[in-house]
Chains A and B, each alone.
Chain A
C-alpha cells in the first residue's frame, strides 16, 4: 500500500464469528471504529458497517483509498464441507494418497479415534496414465485421450472443479500443465488447480491435500469477493480492495481468487500482526502475541517486528488441538498455536482427582453458568467472575447481567466440594490452571523457536486476553505486559498494518557443495520477477518493492530443515561460506549446540516480495484525556492470593485513562469488550498510544 499523503481513508474490516469489526484511519491519523453483527452473507455486514462508519464521520465511499478485508470464509467452507463438487486426477496408482495419509495414529491410546474425511470422496478420485520420475524425466507420457474422455464424463456428472496432483510435479510440471490444457479443451468452465502451482513441494499427500482444498473453495471465494466488490462499488468505493492472507501479507482479489487457500487463517493472522505493530511502535520487535477468546487461546511469536510464519498447517482437526488429526494444508501461515483455553472452557475434576480446564467449551451458547442461558458446567469466565475480576453489571459494557451466585454454586458443586477447597480457592485454581496451560503451550512454542520466554513482552487482547494476560506473563517470567487500546477490534487494526506481500516457493534439491548455482539463480529471478509484477499490478512502485530470500536447508540426511536467509543478487560458489555460516547461526539458536560435522543440502527456495509498509496508525486520541484519579470509577473486592485473598481493588475506566496515567496493582481496568486485571506488584503506565503497559516484578 502506498503511503497516504493525501486526503484518503484506510479501512480494515474483519469478519469474525459473531461480530464484523471495522477500523478506519483518516488522513491525519484519526481512528474510527465500527461494529455490527456478522450477517449470513458476510459481505452484507461489510457494506453495512462501512456505510455506517462513513456516514457517521462525514466521508463518502469515494474517499476510501484502501480497504483490507479479513475473512474466515475459507476455513468455514472446508469445515462445513461447503465447497465445489471436486474431482482429483493423480498419477496411476496414487488416487488414495489423500486417504492413506500418514498411516499414523495421532493418539496412541484412543481405540476410537477418527481420521479426517478427505474433501473428495473416493468415487471422484481418478488415476490417469502419467509418470514423472524424481529427476523430472517422463517415464510415461500423459494419456491425453484418456483424460479427455474422463473430463467429458466429469463435466456431465456436474463436477465443477478438478485438482491435479502428479508425482514429482514440483520437479517437472509438464504433465500437470498438459492435463490442464486437456481439461480446459474439453470443459472450458471447469476450475483447475495444479499442485505444481499451488504448492510445488515434495510430499504427495500434503501437496494433493492442499491443491484440493484450493480448488474446492475457489468458486465460493470468487463469488464472495466479486459480490463484495459490487457492494462496495454501490456505495461509491473506487479504491483498492485487498484481502488479508494467512501469511500476514495482503493481496489483490485476482491473486486471492487464484490461490484462495492462502486466505485460510486471515482473521487470526491479523491479530498477531496487530500485536507486532503495537510492539514495533513501542520499540519492542520480539514479543509474544496472546489472543484469548471464548473457546480458544492463540499464541504466536513475533520476531524482528514480524510474526513467525510456518508452512505446515492443518484444518478441520478431528481432535481440535491435536496435530495429525486434520487435513494438512501447506501454505504460509502465521504460526499460531491454538489451545482449548478460553472464557467458555469448562473446569472439572478428572479421574486422578486433579483440576482440569478445557479443552471442552461451553462456547457462547449455552455459555458459562453466569450467563444464565442454561449452562451448568463451571467455566473460566465463571471463575473470573467469582474472583471479582469481572463486574456482573458491566459485562460487554453492561449489555449482559452476570449471575454471581449461580457461578459460585456451580464452582462449589463441581470442584470445591470434591477437592475440599473453598469457592474462592477453587475459582483461583481454575484461573491458575488455565493460565498454566496457556503459559506451557507458549513456553514450548517459544523454546522451539530458540527464544527465551522471559525476554518476551506479552501483548494480550481478545475478550479474555486482558483478564489472563497478567497471570500468563507472570508464569512465563516476562517483565512486560502490553494491553493495546481496543481489545475488541485488534484484528481489524492488524489488517491496516499489513504490507502488500506475496510468497513464492520452488523445490530444487542439491548438496550445497555441488549445487547448480545457475539453476538456483534462475529460480530466484523467476520468483522475484513474478513478485514484482504482482505488486506493480496492485499499485506499488517498483522502487518500493523488496524481496526477502530464504532456503530450507538441513544437514545431509537430517530430517528437519531450517530456514536460512540467502543473500540477494546473483549467487556464486563464493557465497557458499556465507550460507554455511548463516545455517550454523540459525541452528545454534534453535538447538543450543553445533550439529555434527556433515555437509548441507538445500531442498526448497523461497521468496517473499513485499510492497511498502503502510503508515503507522495515528496516535491522535485527543478524545481520551485524564489520569488515574479522574478515571477511577469505583472499587470492588478481587482475589489475589499473594495479597492475602480478597482485597479492595480500584476499578478504572479505560476510556478516561489518558497517556501518562500511572498506577500500581492490584487494579482493574475496564473497557466495553474486556477487563484488564493487574496483579499486586504490577506497575501500570499508559503510553502515548494509550496502550496499558504493565511492568511485572521481574518474574516470580
Chain B
C-alpha cells in the first residue's frame, strides 16, 4: 500500500473510516481523563480533526452541536492568530474567548498542531465546558462579559512541550474549582495527543505525507451530497418566529429560510436586539445551531465536516441577540441558541412536511447550585443538567425527557446527592405536558430539590419556556410550559441568582414538547394507552384529543391495569365530529 496516484472510492472509504476511528480515540481519551462531571456525565464536549486549511475533516460521535460547529469555525480564528509555520512540535493553544469559539466563557477550546517530519499536517481540537471559570457563577445575570469570568485570549498552553505555568497559576487563582478546571486542561491536551499519535501512525502506514488530499475529497463529496439533498427541495422563502422568556423581557427569534437551487440562506434579521443580560449569542454559535438544523433536516447521513456547512449560509444583524458584540454578556447563550433548530424547522414545516420535528422544550435547563453541607467547610458548586420533552415528529411521538438540539445527558439523583449535600425528592414524568397532536409531544419532568445545610444556599437557574411553551406544528398543540417554584411559589425572575433558605424546596418542572398534526386525528387506541400509562389524563384525553376513556376501577385502587380502562368509541366519534 505505498504508492498511489489517485484516491479511488474504496481507498477513500478505507482512509476515511480510519480518520473517524482516530477522532473517536481522541474523544474516548477525553471522556476518560476529564475531571468535571459536565464532561464525563453529560458529554458536553466536542472533538475533531482539521486539515492544514483549518477545515474540519471529521468529528467524534457524540457531543453537542453548539460545540462541534462552533469549534469548527473557531479553529480558523486560532490559525489567524498563529498561521501555519508559526507553531512547532509541543505547542498547544487554547482560548475561551466567546467570540472566537463556543460563545461562552466556560467553554475552553484546546488546539494541538500535529507535525510530521517537522511539517504541520493537521490540527486536533476539542471543546469542553469547564466546571468553573471564575467571575459570577454561571448565570445569565451579568451585564458585561467581564463579569462572567476569566477570559483567556488565544495563547499557548504549552510552548514546545513546557506548560505555561503562569497561565495555570492565574487560572487556579481565579476559579472556584482549581483542580477540576486545570485537570480538564490536562485531559484536553492529552486527548489531542492521543489523536495525534493515532493519526501519525495511520499516515505512516499508508505512506501519506499530507491528509489534505483526503480531506479535500471527503469535504467535497460531503458538500456535493448536501447540495444534492437541497436540490430536491423546491425553491422558496419560508419564515417562522418564536419567543423565548428572555431575562427581563421576552426575546423574539425570527428566521427567514431561503431555498435557492442548491444553497440555503438562513437570515435571522428581525430578531430582538442584544439583551443587557447574559443570554446573547455570538455569531459562531448561531451559525452552529442553524447549520446543525439544516443537516439534521435534509441529510443526517452525510458525514459532518466543513463540506456540510458550505451550502448553508447564515446571517444575523450585528448587535442583535444572535450576533452580539463584545463585551455583551453571553454566559447563558444556549438558552437562545437552542431555540434555533426549532425556528428553522418551523419555517420549513410546509416545505418538508414529512421529515421534521415540532419545537420541544429546546433549551436544556442548566442550574448551578452552591451550598455548604452541615459540619463541613467543603462548599459544593454543582451544575445540574435537565431535559424536558422533545417535539413530536412527523410520524412518531416526541421523546420524553430527551435533549434536543443539545446532545447532553442528565445527571442521576444518586450522583447529585453523592457530590453535594442536596436531596432530590422527585424525578418523574409530567402527566399532560406532551403537546397534543396526531403525534404527541414528549413529556417533561417534575423535579424537586432541597439541601441538607444550616445556612443559605443558592441557585442560578438558566430555565426557559415558562411564559412561552413550545408551539406545535401543523395543527399540533402546545407542550406544557415549564415551572420554576420555590416552596410552591412561582418565582417571577428565575434566571437571577437566588438565595434559598436552608429548608427551602425548589421545584423545577420541565416543559413538554409540542405536538405534530391535528390531535383529533390521533389513533384513539394510542390515546387510550397514553391514559393507561399516565402520560395523558382522562380529562385531557377528552378535552385535547376528543377521546372518551372511562376508568372502571375503584377510586382507591393502587394497581390500575389496562383492563380497568374502556375506550368509549361512540362518544369519541361524537366528540370528534361535532
Contact = CB atoms under 8 A, between A and B. Distances in A.
Nearest to B425: A93
A96 to B, nearest CB: 5
Contact of A109 (B296, B402, B408): B296
A103 B386 contact: yes
A111 B33 contact: no
A202 B18 contact: no
B13 interface: yes
Contacts of A254: none
B125 interface: no
B41 interface: yes
Nearest to B21: A440
Nearest to B14: A436
A448 interface: yes
A582 B296 CA distance: 46
A113 B205 CA distance: 37
A560 B395 CA distance: 38
A591 interface: yes
A110 B179 contact: no
B180 A123 contact: no
A429 B13 CA distance: 9
B558 A560 contact: no
B34 A153 contact: no
Contacts of B180: 557
Contact of B561 (A114, A157, A202): A157
Interface string B58-74: 00001111000000000
Contact of B9 (A102, A419, A559): A419
B17 A440 contact: yes
Nearest to A642: B1
A350 interface: yes
A509 B419 CA distance: 11
B116 interface: no
B534 interface: yes
Contacts of A567: none
A586 to B, nearest CB: 12
Contact of A104 (B297, B304, B403): B403
Nearest to A594: B186
A205 interface: yes
A444 interface: yes
A556 B177 CA distance: 12
Contacts of A94: 413, 426-428
Interface in A109-154: 109-115, 121-124, 126, 133-134, 139, 149-150, 153-154
Interface residues of B, number: 105
A99 B417 contact: no
Contacts of A353: 9, 221
A496 to B, nearest CB: 35
A150 B557 CA distance: 9
Nearest to B224: A352
A498 to B, nearest CB: 29
B414 A598 contact: no
B43 A104 contact: yes
A164 to B, nearest CB: 16
B404 interface: yes
Contact of B427 (A96, A104, A123): A96
Nearest to A150: B558
Nearest to B2: A700
Interface stretch (B22-30, B264-272, B279-287): B22-30
Interface size class of A (residues with CB under 8 A): 35 or more
Contacts of B301: 109, 350-351
Interface in A79-117: 92-97, 99-106, 108-115
A595 interface: yes
User: Which of A99, A111, A113, A591 has the most chain B CB atoms closer than 10 A to its own CB?
Assistant: A111
Contact of A153 (B16, B225, B424, B558): B558
Contacts of B229: 351
Nearest to A357: B13
Contacts of B302: 351-352
A121 B29 contact: no
Contacts of B385: 103
A556 B29 contact: no
A447 interface: yes
B143 to A, nearest CB: 32
B17 A104 contact: no
A108 B275 CA distance: 29
Contacts of B535: 122
Interface string A226-259: 0000000000000000000000000000000000
Contacts of A157: 559, 561
Contacts of A153: 557-559
Contacts of A351: 225, 228-229, 299, 301-302
Interface in B203-238: 205, 218, 221-222, 224-225, 228-229
A557 B179 contact: yes
Contacts of B194: 447, 591-592
A134 B418 contact: yes
Interface string B178-201: 011011001000100110011000
Nearest to B510: A103
Interface string A338-355: 000000000001111111
A355 B13 contact: yes
Nearest to A159: B559
Contacts of B414: 134, 167-168, 202-204
Contact of A557 (B35, B205, B427): B35
Nearest to A597: B179
B448 interface: yes
B183 A108 contact: no
User: Which of A99, A100, A103, A350 has the most chain B CB atoms closer than 10 A to its own CB?
Assistant: A103
Contact of B32 (A106, A419, A433, A590): A590
Interface string B33-69: 1111101111100000000000000000011110000
A12 to B, nearest CB: 35
Contacts of B224: 352
A557 B417 CA distance: 14
B318 interface: no
B533 interface: yes
B127 interface: no
A432 interface: yes
A121 B429 CA distance: 13
B415 interface: yes
A432 B29 CA distance: 28
Given A153-B557, A440-B21, A591-B190, A560 B417 contact: no
Contacts of A114: 396, 399
A115 B13 contact: no
A444 B25 contact: yes
Contact of A509 (B29, B418, B562): B418
Interface in B370-421: 385-387, 393, 395-396, 399-404, 407-410, 412-415, 417-418
Interface of A: 92-97, 99-106, 108-115, 121-124, 126, 133-134, 139, 149-150, 153-154, 156-157, 159, 167-168, 202-205, 349-356, 419, 421, 425, 428-429, 432-433, 436-437, 440-441, 443-444, 447-448, 477, 509, 555-560, 590-593, 595-596, 598, 700
Given A94-B413, A203-B415, 10 more contacts: A93-B424, A93-B428, A97-B412, A102-B409, A104-B407, A108-B62, A123-B532, A349-B9, A352-B224, A433-B17
Interface of B: 1, 8-10, 12-14, 16-18, 20-21, 24-25, 28-29, 31-37, 39-43, 62-65, 179-180, 182-183, 186, 190, 193-194, 197-198, 205, 218, 221-222, 224-225, 228-229, 292, 295-297, 299-304, 355-357, 385-387, 393, 395-396, 399-404, 407-410, 412-415, 417-418, 423-429, 445, 448, 452, 532-535, 557-562
16 contacts: A103-B401, A104-B43, A109-B301, A112-B395, A112-B396, A122-B429, A124-B559, A133-B423, A134-B414, A202-B418, A353-B9, A429-B9, A436-B18, A557-B183, A560-B32, A596-B182
| In the A-B complex, the 5 residue pairs with the closest CB atoms | A559-B40, A103-B410, A104-B409, A93-B426, A429-B10
